[in-house]
Chain A
Amino acid sequence: MTQFLQQVINGLSIGSVYALIALGYTMVYGIIKLINFAHGDIFMFGAYIGMIAITSFKLPFFVALVVAMAVTAVFGVIIERVAYKPLRKSSKTAALITAIGVSFLIQNGTQLVMGANIYAFPQVIPNQYFDVFGLRINLLQLIIFFTSIVLMFILQFIVKKTRLGRAMRSVAVDKDASVLMGVNVDNTITITFAIGSALAAAAGIMVGLYYIKIYPYMGFAPGLKAFVAAVFGGIGIIPGAMIGGFAIGLIETMVAGYGSTLYKDAVVYSILILILLIKPSGLLGKNTKEKV
Chain B
Amino acid sequence: MKKLIGVLILALLVLSGFTACSSKPKTIKIGLNLELTGEISVYGVPEKLAAEMAVAEINKAGGIDGKTVELIIYDNAYNSAKAVENSQKLIQQGVVAILGSATSAPTLAIGPVALDSKVLTITPSGTNAKVTMNGTAVNPFVFRACFIDPFQGLVLANFASDNLDAKKAVVMGSNSSDYAKDLASIFTDQFEANGGEVLGSVFYYADTDADFSAQLTAIAALGEFDVLFVADYAARAGLIINQARATAGLETVAILGPDGFESPDLNDLAGGAAKVNNVFFSTHFSTIVDNAKVKKFIADYTTSAGEAPSALSALAYDAMYMLFAAIDKAGTNPVKVRDALKATVGFDGVTGTISFDDLNNPIKSAIVVELTNGVQTNAVIVNP
Interface residues in chain A, defined as those with a beta carbon under 8 Å from any beta carbon in chain B: 2-3, 6-7, 10-11, 13-14, 118, 120, 123, 127, 129, 131, 134-136, 138, 207, 211-213, 218, 221, 252-254, 256-258, 260-262, 265
Are B268 and A261 neighbours in the complex by a CB distance under 8 Å?
A: no
- How distant is B40 from chain A, measured CB to nearest CB, in Å? 16
Are B208 and A257 neighbours in the complex by a CB distance under 8 Å?
A: no
Q: How far is the CA of A190 from the CA of B164 in the complex (A)?
A: 61
Are A211 and B214 neighbours in the complex by a CB distance under 8 Å?
A: no
6 pairs across A/B with beta carbons < 8 Å? A6-B248, A123-B272, A129-B246, A135-B248, A207-B210, A258-B218
**What mask results when residues 171 to 185 of chain B are scored 1 for a CB within 8 Å of chain A, else 0?**
000010000000000
- How distant is A52 from chain B, measured CB to nearest CB, in Å? 16
Residue of A at shortest CB range from B242? Answer: A212
Are A261 and B247 neighbours in the complex by a CB distance under 8 Å?
A: no
Are B205 and A257 neighbours in the complex by a CB distance under 8 Å?
A: no
B348 on the interface (CB 8 Å rule)? no
Are B208 and A262 neighbours in the complex by a CB distance under 8 Å?
A: no
Are B214 and A127 neighbours in the complex by a CB distance under 8 Å?
A: no
Could you tell me which residues of chain B, from 167 to 213, have a CB within 8 Å of some CB in chain A? 175, 203-206, 208-213
Residue of A at shortest CB range from B236? Answer: A213
Q: How far is the CA of A11 from the CA of B203 in the complex (A)?
A: 18
Are A212 and B204 neighbours in the complex by a CB distance under 8 Å?
A: no
Could you tell me which residues of chain B, from 138 to 186, have a CB within 8 Å of some CB in chain A? 175
Are A253 and B213 neighbours in the complex by a CB distance under 8 Å?
A: yes
Residue of A at shortest CB range from B268? Answer: A120
- How distant is B3 from chain A, measured CB to nearest CB, in Å? 60
B265 on the interface (CB 8 Å rule)? yes
CB-CB under 8 A from A135, the residues of chain B are: 248
Interface residues in chain B, defined as those with a beta carbon under 8 Å from any beta carbon in chain A: 175, 203-206, 208-215, 217-218, 220-221, 235, 238-239, 242, 246-248, 265, 268-272
Neighbour of A211 across the interface among B175, B211, B247, B248, CB < 8 A: B211
Are A123 and B209 neighbours in the complex by a CB distance under 8 Å?
A: no
Are A262 and B205 neighbours in the complex by a CB distance under 8 Å?
A: yes
Residue of A at shortest CB range from B216? Answer: A10
- How distant is B272 from chain A, measured CB to nearest CB, in Å? 6
Are A3 and B246 neighbours in the complex by a CB distance under 8 Å?
A: no
Are B213 and A211 neighbours in the complex by a CB distance under 8 Å?
A: no
- How distant is B200 from chain A, measured CB to nearest CB, in Å? 11
CB-CB under 8 A from B269, the residues of chain A are: 118, 120, 212-213
Q: How far is the CA of A25 from the CA of B247 in the complex (A)?
A: 32
CB-CB under 8 A from B248, the residues of chain A are: 6, 131, 134-136
Neighbour of A257 across the interface among B204, B215, B270, B271, CB < 8 A: B215
Are A136 and B214 neighbours in the complex by a CB distance under 8 Å?
A: no
Q: Check A136/B215 contact, CB under 8 A, given A213-B210, A260-B204, A262-B206.
A: no
Neighbour of B271 across the interface among A14, A118, A127, A261, CB < 8 A: A127
Q: How far is the CA of A138 from the CA of B217 in the complex (A)?
A: 13
CB-CB under 8 A from A11, the residues of chain B are: 214
Q: How far is the CA of A258 from the CA of B265 in the complex (A)?
A: 31
Q: Check A212/B218 contact, CB under 8 A, given A123-B272, A261-B203, A261-B209.
A: no
Q: Check A261/B214 contact, CB under 8 A, given A118-B235, A136-B246, A211-B239.
A: yes
- How distant is B30 from chain A, measured CB to nearest CB, in Å? 36
Q: Check A211/B246 contact, CB under 8 A, given A3-B218, A257-B215, A260-B204.
A: no
Are A262 and B204 neighbours in the complex by a CB distance under 8 Å?
A: yes
Are B215 and A256 neighbours in the complex by a CB distance under 8 Å?
A: yes
- How distant is B277 from chain A, measured CB to nearest CB, in Å? 15
CB-CB under 8 A from B217, the residues of chain A are: 3, 6-7, 10, 257
Residue of A at shortest CB range from B219? Answer: A257
CB-CB under 8 A from A120, the residues of chain B are: 238, 265, 268-269
CB-CB under 8 A from A3, the residues of chain B are: 217-218, 220-221
Residue of A at shortest CB range from B205? Answer: A261
Cβ-closest 5 pairs across A and B = A120-B268, A256-B214, A257-B214, A136-B248, A3-B221
Neighbour of A213 across the interface among B213, B235, B246, B247, CB < 8 A: B235
CB-CB under 8 A from A127, the residues of chain B are: 242, 246, 271
Q: How far is the CA of A91 from the CA of B223 in the complex (A)?
A: 57
Q: Which of A7, A221, A256, A265 has the most CB of B within 10 A?
A: A256
Residue of B at shortest CB range from A217? Answer: B208
Q: How far is the CA of A3 from the CA of B206 in the complex (A)?
A: 23
- How distant is B214 from chain A, measured CB to nearest CB, in Å? 4
Are A261 and B213 neighbours in the complex by a CB distance under 8 Å?
A: no
CB-CB under 8 A from A221, the residues of chain B are: 208
Residue of B at shortest CB range from A256? Answer: B214
Q: How far is the CA of A101 from the CA of B22 in the complex (A)?
A: 69
CB-CB under 8 A from A10, the residues of chain B are: 211, 213-214, 217
Residue of A at shortest CB range from B274? Answer: A126
CB-CB under 8 A from B242, the residues of chain A are: 127, 212
Q: Which of B209, B211, B246, B269 has the most CB of A within 10 A?
A: B211
- How distant is B206 from chain A, measured CB to nearest CB, in Å? 6
Q: How far is the CA of A131 from the CA of B272 in the complex (A)?
A: 22
Q: How far is the CA of A36 from the CA of B214 in the complex (A)?
A: 30
Are A138 and B272 neighbours in the complex by a CB distance under 8 Å?
A: no
Are B206 and A123 neighbours in the complex by a CB distance under 8 Å?
A: no
Q: How far is the CA of A260 from the CA of B175 in the complex (A)?
A: 11
- How distant is B234 from chain A, measured CB to nearest CB, in Å? 9
CB-CB under 8 A from B206, the residues of chain A are: 261-262, 265
Q: Which of B206, B214, B217, B235 has the most CB of A within 10 A?
A: B214
